[in-house]
Structure 1
């Protein structure tokens, strides 16, 4: 595809100045934890860390992708808030990882400055 694109096309393709950012999450739970405890933790996570920051989560209880709840990009501050919430010492979690900000539509592309 040509790199000399119109503004309208760049917006439609979510590239260049219209790039949208998000981040990946992985969770590992303590061994022997029952499904109900995992479900309760995950519901708390969605309500407190995701919805309270106007974010959206796509995935499951062990892996997912966080993006903005509307069109646009996740800010570094929003990412840091989710990461801080996960590090508060939840009894259910054995660990979690939060990726750096990534291009939502084209994860292989670098993030624009």
Structure 2
């Protein structure tokens, strides 16, 4: 069974200090990731989101994170990649019919 997640990268506004980035990452985990039954692995510039237990991140969960990130004043930009195989990223995503 395939388990899906997605990559994230963050670009911060110029002049944002380390404390503000750390506060953003803490808020990101508490407000966007953990309440939606997901985990984030990575650093403050890029990482990967997957489900907090066996299974796949849904397109709705990905859209929730995307919507939350759009509202964050610390970010100059970000990239939320498409859902992909969390274990074998080069494998195509199996489409359920």
Measured in 2, the distance between the counterparts of 1:91 and 1:73 equals 29
Higher strand share: 2
How high is the TM-score relative to the length of structure 1? Answer: 0.83
Q: Which residue of 2 aligns with 1:21?
A: 4
Q: Which residue of 2 aligns with 1:61?
A: 44
Q: Please, which runs of 5 or more residues in structure 2 have no aligned partner?
A: none
Structure exhibiting the larger radius of gyration computed from Cα positions: 1
Higher RCO (C-alpha 8 Å, min separation 6): 2
Give the Å deviation of 1:44: 0.3
Runs (4 or more) in structure 1 with deviation over 3 Å come to: none
Q: Please, which runs of 5 or more residues in structure 1 have no aligned partner?
A: 1-17
Please give the per-residue CA displacement for 1:29-84, whole angstroms capped at 9, x wherever unaligned.
01111100000011000100000100011100110000000011000100000000
CA RMSD of the aligned region, Å? 0.5
Q: What SS is found at the alignment partner of 1:42? A: helix
Number of aligned residue pairs: 95
